[in-house]
Each structure stands twice: as structure tokens, then as C-alpha cells.
Chain A
Amino acid sequence: MQNIQPQYNNKVLVIGGGMGGIRTALDLAEAEKNVILVDKAYAIGGLMTQLDRTFPTNNCDLCTLSPNLSESSRQEFIELLTMTTVKDVRGEKGNFTVLLETAPRYINLEKCTACGECHKAYPECVRFTPGLDHRAPTCMRYPQATPQAFSIDLAKCTDVEALMKSCPAGAINPDDMGRKREVHCGSIVFSPGGALFDPSHLDYLGYATQADVVTSLEYERILSASGPTMGQLVRPSNGQQPKKVAWIQCIGSRGLQKGAGQYCSSACCMFALKEAIVTKERFQDDIETTIFFIDMRTMGKDYELYYLRAKNEFGVRFVRSRPHSILREHGKENLTLTYSAEEGGANLTEEFDMVVLSTGFRVADDVKELALKMGLELNADSFPKTDGFNPVVTSVPGIYVAGVIQSPKDIPETMVQASAAACMAGSDLGPVMEKVEREQEPLPLETGVVGEEPRVGVFICDCGENIGGVVDAAALAEYAGTLPHVAVAELKGHGCSRESMQQIQETIKAERLNRVVIGGCSPRTHEAKFQEVIRRAGLNKYLVEVANIRDQVTWVHANRPQRATEKAKDLIKMAVGSVVRAQPLADHSLPMNKNVLIVGGGITGMTTALQLANQGLKVYLVEKSAGLGGLATSLRRTLEGGDVQAFVKDLVLRTESHDNIQVITRAIIVDHSGMPGMFKTGMQTGKQMFYRQIEHGVTILATGALPNRPSLYLLDECEAVSTQRELQTLIEDQPGTVKAWDNVVMIQCVGSRTPDNPNCSRICCQNAVKNALHIKEINPDARIFVLYRDMRTYGFQEEYYLKARELGVIFSRYTLENPPKVEATDQMVNVTFTDPILGRQITVTANCLCLSTGLVADEDSNDELARIFKLPRTGDGYFLEDHVKLRPVDLPIPGFFVAGTAHSPKTIRESVAQALAVASRARTMLAKDSINLGAAAARVDKNICAACLICVRSCPFGIPFINADGYSEIDPAKCHGCGMCASACPAKAIQLMQFEDDRIIAKLEELFERNIA
């Protein structure tokens, strides 16, 4: 081994290059902090790269992910080390020394172009393939891999010489030795992700013996366009399309099988729902989908709606049962599932073509070993123990966790923790960072195109099956080639993949293109990406137009391929017509205001405020009520036993005494203007309601949610009826009362998961378990009945649920159609419910009936704020984030962020994680000294302006004015780019850049030239 070299220690080491690790690294890099990102695989991306689609939007994963991946390897602050493992960690917070070992790739990353020639010549050199992927060669895991290079398994190679010759780039180096080196870092983010439970040893499930029994990840690979079957859903045993598919939940979770974890894996229910929906979408009535489950745990934001859609719209069948075996009878092709009937318990059998095992997460052995090496305290399931109020803080100062390693979770929660860990780890490097002028890869000079004959390059993406599965993408490219001014028209697999983008750049240069059209997905998500591509090829970035033939054609007209093809042609022709009129434009920029406005002074708002204030930023913390603390001031302890009051008191104290935080109470926001980086928000404050205005660069909404209080089950009518929150106070303050109780009944989902409020309130199940355990502590003889619909004790909450059952708490399921009935009898409540196991009605006379009423959005406040800030909300009134999967705390309007229960119901720890995450996201923006305003500003032709004042009067922001020369002037740095003045101008003297009239008219002309001729 060679190259042991010391490094400087103002860095963060991120271990694991999955979605979480990438997010952490990007957040830190954007906040201008140095990162070393190590991953043991040969390409980053982790588990998500193997998914076909993600819930709840059913977006293609790679489409949403790949722009992030390529971003990650390019960032100047990130050193990416793949095929690298951490061998040793020494030192302490602020000064860790880490020994890294990089395995030989046998390929020179600088030279490899990922052409695939080695793969064609020597497919046997297979290194590792997830699940069923028997196609991969020298193994690139997916077409958009980062780094964009292959990796060779030398052990499987018999003729090294020949293999080397197969590479046209001369990139194969059999003498690659790998290397060891020591790095120093101030803090470490540990995000190695989870391994999946291997069900091979469970012979009754037949996974090891039956080809048609697959894990949910393998099923995902079969569905995936980049998978082994190219997206064809077929049975592994015979290659036929299955007619009946079953999913079995909780394999390897909830302590149900040998070797299973005690916890709930949290993501599998949604995972199975998604797979069932995607399957139904493709084959409709041609396929039957059945999910066998115990509790349907769809507790995420709007997840319940997804569940309802699966059931009601897609006809997915749900059976509440744990199948006890999967067998294939002799001579039969199908699998026989044996399970107990939901009611009555009779043994039933049913045949299926395929069975999918929803395998849960676990901690991989090597990860556990590394965790111990780092000195992390682990729980019984080998997950690192974390702080009671801050889920990313481990037992070792300076080492943080994010993602599945903290506790099993889905992607949005991983993204939140990744940003939260970035916030914590970044803070350890200290607030002052000397700004080093870095050498940036210089951009080529822009080629002059004005006056040149347009030479358009059209690149059509097939986007896997997304576009290519509906329309003939090659024929589209051929058609585009016939259009006027089009010099090149080519088909690209995934235009957004690194490889394609490279090719596009080369084609632009080779063919001297001066305009580009991408036929692909939405310009909303990908225009910026392609602007950058053409800029790197020497073109002004505004010379590209994206024709949205996916979101507007193939995704919505899949059932009519002929019409879809025609429409795709129209959109491409329109884009070409428009782009030939595009002119090079310059971006405008303004200095960034680095103050922060946080709305809401609860735990979330205070946590964010402290993080940002500690980084030297000025924070205005605005609270509607008279004091800080929010809803948490009425809470006592957490499920894990944390003292909420002490925690809140400490936060309030630190917030109020912080020099950089100005707390403004009794404040109501009344107006808002400006743009990201230079907002102005007006509010009325104090008892006198004085008006004041604050200037700030970012806005963070931490406005919380309200406790729900529906008039159900005698609440507010009978003294023995309370909510979980009230019960908690009672238990703490009057243990004597609790000691005297004989019977306690809790009803779950009161006011949640109903037609009026369809979503799950997420916190109630653990609340009920928490209070039940606490009652049992004081009064072990009390009989406690929890009437539930699905127990949603996700993650490690499951262990408390188990404990409650062990202590004799009775959990009895009810249905929405047959809710419990209550009746007041002096001081007590009679609760009557049907027990599904006994199959008969039971009446309990309860000393206390406790209702799990959950949270609802603060309709009045949120409505008001959404109007003032122009922010979208979900159907049930919470703020709607920009991307439910990848940008869970960013709001769609740049410069706005949301955290805590204003986003959706969540626990205190989850709110703290989001609070830290928004602090990190806000920092990425505030690290910049100027704001790029883009180029979409209105421009006046002074030669034809009649100085009529119509623009001056119509601009909603008061920007145009008639200057001393007697014509209208519009400051591009102040223009918001709506185009109102341009459309109103009677002299047609104003054009809005990027949306010029001639481009809009050209689109119309092109559209109708094709259609009316």
C-alpha cells in the first residue's frame, strides 16, 4: 500500500454515498464547507438507484435522483472516494483522524468514458449485481452512474491482456493497487444506509427454493426499465407475465421471524403499495394484486391518501393476515399460500403466480463493526443509540447519523436527517471559515450566435419506458431531423444521464450547433440542467428549449400511442420554431440579505433560530402568541422518557439570551414583498399592534399545527372523557387519581383517517402506548383497552408497543364502519366495541376514556400566511413542499422553507430533525453573497416606446418608470418577470426575455402549420 499523506482537518467526513450521504455532502458543499464523501460501492446513489419508482408520486427514481448524483461528484467542495472503506477512526470532535482504504477499481477514472466496450467483450467479469441483475458486465450499476465509469472484477477475468485491449480509452489498469490514507476531519456523518433482511433461511417462505418468491427490491428491479428484464414484468420461473401477485409484509421486522429485528421497518407498507399500484397501472384488470399485512402503516404526509387510492381506485386487495407458508405443490406451476382468515381464524389457501416478500431493513455486519470501531453505543438491534430530542446526535460527540442507520425510514425522512446531520456536523467546524478563492473549472467563452443562421440540435430522451414505452422515440428523432434549421436530431436514452449530457456537449461542438431542443421531461425540473450542459459547450444558456413530451404526452396519453406521437411531434416542432428565435441573454444578480425570518416560536422555530444564530446570522423569530414554546409547553415527556418541559425551558432561555436572535412576540404578519435574498415582511406587533417591517433573505415557516378537538365520543360533554394530551398531564400531576382506576379505554384515530380528515395524525399511536405504559407504571392492575384501526408504532416505537402488550394492555381493532359506542354513566363511560378475535361485543365501564385526537393544520393562520407569502398547501391545509421526496423542507418558492408540524404531524424529535434540516438548507442559500435573478426580465425598445404609462400603471411591483429621455425604463434587477407590462404595451415596445412575442407566435404557427394544412 502507498500514499500515506496527511490532510487538513476543517472537513466533514460523510460515510455512505446513498441518497442521505449525497444530500449531507451537497448541503455542506453549498454552504462552502469541505466534505470527503466515501462509499464502498463503485458508484454512489445507494439503494435508491435500484428503485423503479418512488411513492407517493410514482415518479421515476433515476429521473429525480440522477441530477443530484452528477451534481455531487462535480461540486468543488466535495472529494468523492468510491470503493473506499473506513478502517479506523481516532480522536475526538473537532479533530478526528480516519484511516481510509480504497480498493482497486482496475480502471482509470480519468480515462474511462463508460463506453461499454469491455462489457461487450467480457461480460463474464461480473462483480456484484443487486437482486436479479444478471445483465451487468464489468458492472455499472445503472446508466446514470456517478462516477461515470465501469469497475472490473479481476478475479473473474482469465485473459487480462485481451481485456485491456478491449478498452479503446486504455483505461484498464490491472496493476491498480488501491491505497490507504489518513484523513483528518472535524466531524463525521455516518449514513451507511440499511441492509435488507435476507429471508433465505426461512424455509416456509420458499425464498431459497422458489424462483417466483422474490423480495420487494427484486420485484422493483423486475419492474425497472434499467433492470434485468428491461422493465418487463415476468415470472422468474417461466418468463410469463404473472396474473396474480401477493405481497407479504413485515418479513424481517417486528420480531416476527427468526433473525428479524424487533422494530418496524417503516417504509415497507408504502413500498408494497407502490409496487402494487405500479403493477395495476401497467396491467389493469389483467393482474390481481393482494397485500397480506398486519397493520397498514401509512403515517407519512398524505400517505393515507395513497393507501385509499390503492384500495379504491386501483383495486388492490388487502388481507389482514400473516400467511404461514408458501409452497409449490408437486407438478404445479403456482405457489400456494396458506393463511388464517381475518375473522374466525379458519385456515385458507390461495394460489399465486408470484409472491413478494416485503423485507425490512437491518444493520449490515460490516456497518455494525465500523460503528463499534467509532465507539458508538448501539441498541439491541445494532442501531446507534441517539439523543432523546435530537435523532442525529449519537453517543460520541462529533459523530452524527442520518437515514436508515438511525432508525428504519423512507426517503423524505432520510433527506431531512441528512440535512440535519449536515447542520450539526457543519457547526462543529466553527462559524468562521476563511473564504478561499478557489480555482473553478473555467467555462468556455460563449460562441457568438447573433446573426448566425440557426443550427438546431434536437435530442430526444426515451427516458427508459417513460417516453419510449409509449411513443417511438427513434421515429420522433427522425421526424425532428426533417424540420427546418435542424442540423442534428438524435435519440438519447436518458438525456439527463452524465453520459448523454457529455455526448450532447460534444455534438454541439462538433456540429457547431447554436440552438438546442431537448424532447424530454418538464422544464420546471430539468431546464436548468440542460442550460448548464449547453453553457459548458460554449453556448449561452438561454439557447435551449425543453419540449415536455413526458409529463404532457407519454404520461398522460399512454392509452393512445398514435395521438401521443402526433402531439409529441407538435411539441417538438413548436420548440424548434421557438428556439430559433431565442437570443443570448445575461443573468442579473443582486447582493444577498443574510438575515433570516422565522415564523413560529415553538421547539422547531427556536431550534432553527439557535443553529443559524450560532453561525453568526441575524435571526428574527416571530411568534403570534405572547411567549415562546408553542404546543410543547403543554407536553410532559416523550415516549422514550425525555423531559419535555426541561428541554423547552432550556431552548427558550438560550433563544431569548442569544445576541443574534431578536424575538418578536404577539406579531401578526400582514404583508410581504421582494424576492429570494431580499424579502421585506411587514407585521403588526405587541399589544398596540405597531407596524414594523423586516428585511431578510430567507423565510422559514415553523408555525406548527393545532391539537384536534372533534366533538366525538362525549368529548367536552362528560368529565371522564379526555384527550391523550390531557391524560398525560393528569398522570403526571394526579397519580393518585390514576391509581384508583380500574378500567381505561383509549380510542385511536378520533378525527383522523375519516372522510373529513383522511390523513393519519402519525403521533397518536405512540402517544397511546406512552400513556398506557405510564398508567401501568403507576397502577399495574389497571385494565387498559386500546381500540385501534392500525397500530402505527413505526421504527423503534414498535418495541414500546410490544412492551405494552407484554404488560397486559389489550389492543383491539375496530373498523371505520363499526366504531366503538360510548354512553355516560355517572362519572364513568360505558364503551362498547366488537372484538374481532372473539367475534362479539364487549362493554367496558371505564374510569377514563381517552381519545387520540391528533393534530390538524392551523387553518386560519396557514390560510393567511399562504396568501401573504403565495405558498401552496396540501388538501388538509399543511404547507406543500417543493418535492415530497427529495426536497421535503424546501418550499416551491425559492427562499422559503418549512419545518415541524407546519409540514405535517410529527413527534418532537422529528420536528427537531426538520428544524436542523431547514437551518442547513437555509445556510446553503445564505452562503452566497449574491442572488442570481435569471434573465426573464422585461426589456423596452426605446425607439418605439410611446411613453404612454400603461406599463408603469400595470406593473404589480411598480418597477417601470418614464426616464429623463422620455421612454419607459425597467430595471432588470428589480423586474419580477411576470410579463404583465409586455402584454399590456399598446406599442409592443416591451418584450419579456425568454418569453418574447415572436417565440410565442412561432409556437402557434408551428402548431397550426402541422395541424391545419
Chain B
Amino acid sequence: MDNFEPVIVAFCCHYCAYTAADMAGSQRLSYPANVKIIRVPCSSKVDALHIVKAFEKGADGVYVAGCLEGDCHFKNGNSRAVRLVEYVQKYMDEIGIERERLEMVMMSAGMGYRFAQVATEITEKIRKLGPSPIHAAISL
């Protein structure tokens, strides 16, 4: 798969990560088009089901992006999201999907640069991993 273009879903909290993505936009910071953002009010709104469904539909990578540690607009939503991501990673082990395909990242609203950097790094990582086994199986 030389021309493999992974599809990556980024669940972004409204107050920090989504704003950071807008900042990346207004600063014209380029990052791979593979990342598709789904806006949620808080990273803790992301349900294990949303992540698992994303992989089931064929996502090659998923990441949940919330506010910096201690900066959650809703007190502790981001630290709950961290625990959720770890929990789902264990389930991915059971299913047989590399846990590296799921990640929790944190950034502040002003970090347009970090948003672009994270999007680039995760895309590169997933590109190296290749298509997710589910994606590969669906495409067969």
C-alpha cells in the first residue's frame, strides 16, 4: 500500500482543541487532510462506543483532543477522557487492533501550532502502521 492515505477521526473539545484547530487555520498552518474533526463540547463527551464504532466503520486512527491538564472548562472532563482512552485501548488489545491507533492529546485553545503538529505526527504514525486490520478486512 504505497499510496495509503489513512482516515483519522479527531474528537475535539469545543473550548480548547477545536479552537486550536481554528487557530491553526487562521495561522495557515498546514497539516495532513487525513484528519477529520468531530466537535464535542468536552473530551469527556466522547463515549467508548464512539471510538469503537469509528474503528468498526474503518478508521485507521482515532484521537481525542482535550484541554491541558487542569484547564478543562468542565473541571475534570479531560482527565476522565484520559482514563476512557486507556480503557478502550485495553479493549482494542482484546479485539486485536494496535492500541497505538488510539491516542489522547491535550492542548490549549491558543496552540494552533500544536494542533497542526499533533495532526501531522499522528497521521505519520498511522501511515507507518498501515491500514487498520478492520479497514483492511472491509476493503477485501
- Direct chain A–B contact by Cβ atoms under 8 Å: yes
A688 adjacent to chain B (CB < 8 Å) = no
Nearest A residue (CB) for B58:
A1012
Nearest B residue (CB) for A872:
B109
Partner of B58, one of A553, A892, A1008: A1008
Using Cβ atoms and an 8 Å threshold, which residues of chain B touch A977? 41
Q: Are A566 and B33 in contact (CB under 8 A)?
A: yes
Q: Are A1007 and B9 in contact (CB under 8 A)?
A: yes
Q: Are A979 and B44 in contact (CB under 8 A)?
A: yes
Count of B interface residues, CB-CB < 8 Å: 54
Q: Are B25 and A550 in contact (CB under 8 A)?
A: yes
Partner of B21, one of A551, A559, A571, A978: A551
B8-39 CB contacts (< 8 Å) to partner A: 9, 14-15, 18-19, 21-22, 24-31, 33, 36-39
Which of A588-596, A731-739, A994-1002 is near enough to bind chain B? A994-1002
Using Cβ atoms and an 8 Å threshold, which residues of chain B touch A566? 33
Q: Are A982 and B45 in contact (CB under 8 A)?
A: yes
B85 adjacent to chain A (CB < 8 Å) = no
Q: Contact mask B82-108 → A, CB, 8 Å, 1/0?
A: 001000000000000000000000001
Using Cβ atoms and an 8 Å threshold, which residues of chain B touch A222? none
Contact A552 B37, CB 8 Å, known A872-B109, A979-B45, A983-B47: yes
Q: Are A1011 and B7 in contact (CB under 8 A)?
A: yes
Contact A1005 B49, CB 8 Å, known A556-B29, A867-B71, A956-B74: no
B59 adjacent to chain A (CB < 8 Å) = yes
Using Cβ atoms and an 8 Å threshold, which residues of chain A touch B31? 556-557
Q: How far is the CB of B120 from chain A (nearest CB, A)?
A: 11
Nearest A residue (CB) for B6:
A1011
B76 adjacent to chain A (CB < 8 Å) = yes
Sample of 8 A–B contacts (CB below 8 Å) = A552-B37, A560-B33, A978-B45, A980-B42, A982-B45, A982-B47, A983-B50, A1004-B38
Q: Are A567 and B36 in contact (CB under 8 A)?
A: yes
Q: Contact mask A874-912 → B, CB, 8 Å, 1/0?
A: 110000100000000000110000000000000000000
Q: Are B74 and A1008 in contact (CB under 8 A)?
A: no
Partner of A1008, one of B37, B57, B80: B57
Q: Contact mask A535-558 → B, CB, 8 Å, 1/0?
A: 000000000000010111101111
Contact A980 B72, CB 8 Å, known A522-B22, A1007-B36: no
Q: How far is the CB of B97 from chain A (nearest CB, A)?
A: 15
Q: Which 7 A-B pairs have the closest CB atoms?
A: A551-B25, A979-B45, A1012-B58, A978-B74, A1008-B57, A956-B75, A555-B25
A936 adjacent to chain B (CB < 8 Å) = yes
A992 to B26: give the CA distance in the assembly, Å: 30
Using Cβ atoms and an 8 Å threshold, which residues of chain A touch B40? 979, 995, 1000
Q: Are A978 and B44 in contact (CB under 8 A)?
A: yes
A875 to B110: give the CA distance in the assembly, Å: 9
Q: How far is the CB of A54 from chain B (nearest CB, A)?
A: 10
Q: Are A564 and B33 in contact (CB under 8 A)?
A: yes
A524 adjacent to chain B (CB < 8 Å) = yes
B1 adjacent to chain A (CB < 8 Å) = no
Number of A-B residue pairs at CB separation under 8 A: 152
Q: Are A978 and B42 in contact (CB under 8 A)?
A: yes
Q: Are B135 and A1012 in contact (CB under 8 A)?
A: yes
Nearest B residue (CB) for A59:
B26
B77 adjacent to chain A (CB < 8 Å) = yes
A residues bordering B, Cβ < 8 Å?
57-59, 281, 522-525, 548, 550-553, 555-560, 563-564, 566-567, 570-571, 574, 867, 870, 872-875, 880, 892-893, 936, 954, 956-957, 976-980, 982-983, 992, 995, 997, 1000-1001, 1003-1005, 1007-1008, 1011-1012
Contact A1012 B57, CB 8 Å, known A552-B37, A872-B108, A979-B42: yes
Q: Are A936 and B58 in contact (CB under 8 A)?
A: no
Using Cβ atoms and an 8 Å threshold, which residues of chain B touch A936? 41
Q: How far is the CB of A575 from chain B (nearest CB, A)?
A: 11
B126 adjacent to chain A (CB < 8 Å) = no
Using Cβ atoms and an 8 Å threshold, which residues of chain A touch B27? 57-58
Q: How far is the CB of B127 from chain A (nearest CB, A)?
A: 14
Q: Are B50 and A1000 in contact (CB under 8 A)?
A: yes
Q: How far is the CB of A620 from chain B (nearest CB, A)?
A: 24
A552 to B19: give the CA distance in the assembly, Å: 11
A550 to B26: give the CA distance in the assembly, Å: 9
Q: Are A1004 and B54 in contact (CB under 8 A)?
A: yes
Using Cβ atoms and an 8 Å threshold, which residues of chain B touch A873? 110
Contact A997 B47, CB 8 Å, known A570-B36, A956-B75: yes
Q: Contact mask B36-74 → A, CB, 8 Å, 1/0?
A: 111111101111111001100111000000000011111
Q: Are B57 and A1005 in contact (CB under 8 A)?
A: yes
Contact A58 B28, CB 8 Å, known A892-B109, A997-B47: yes
Q: Are A1004 and B7 in contact (CB under 8 A)?
A: no
Using Cβ atoms and an 8 Å threshold, which residues of chain A touch B46? 983
Q: Are B14 and A980 in contact (CB under 8 A)?
A: no
A557 to B54: give the CA distance in the assembly, Å: 23
A523 to B37: give the CA distance in the assembly, Å: 13
A995 to B45: give the CA distance in the assembly, Å: 9
Q: Are B22 and A1004 in contact (CB under 8 A)?
A: no
Nearest B residue (CB) for A880:
B110
Q: How far is the CB of A593 from chain B (nearest CB, A)?
A: 20
Partner of B36, one of A57, A571, A867, A874: A571
Using Cβ atoms and an 8 Å threshold, which residues of chain B touch A978? 41-42, 44-45, 73-74, 77
Nearest A residue (CB) for B49:
A997
A936 to B139: give the CA distance in the assembly, Å: 38
B122 adjacent to chain A (CB < 8 Å) = no
Using Cβ atoms and an 8 Å threshold, which residues of chain B touch A983? 44-48, 50, 84
Q: Are A992 and B41 in contact (CB under 8 A)?
A: yes
Q: Are A980 and B77 in contact (CB under 8 A)?
A: yes
Q: A555-B24, A979-B45 are in contact. List 11 more A-B contacts (CB 8 A).
A: A525-B22, A555-B26, A956-B74, A957-B74, A976-B74, A978-B77, A980-B44, A1004-B38, A1004-B59, A1007-B9, A1007-B57
Using Cβ atoms and an 8 Å threshold, which residues of chain A touch B26? 57-59, 551, 555
Q: Are A558 and B21 in contact (CB under 8 A)?
A: no
Contact A1001 B29, CB 8 Å, known A524-B18, A552-B21: no
Nearest A residue (CB) for B73:
A870
Using Cβ atoms and an 8 Å threshold, which residues of chain B touch A550? 25
Q: Are B14 and A524 in contact (CB under 8 A)?
A: yes
Q: How far is the CB of B27 from chain A (nearest CB, A)?
A: 7
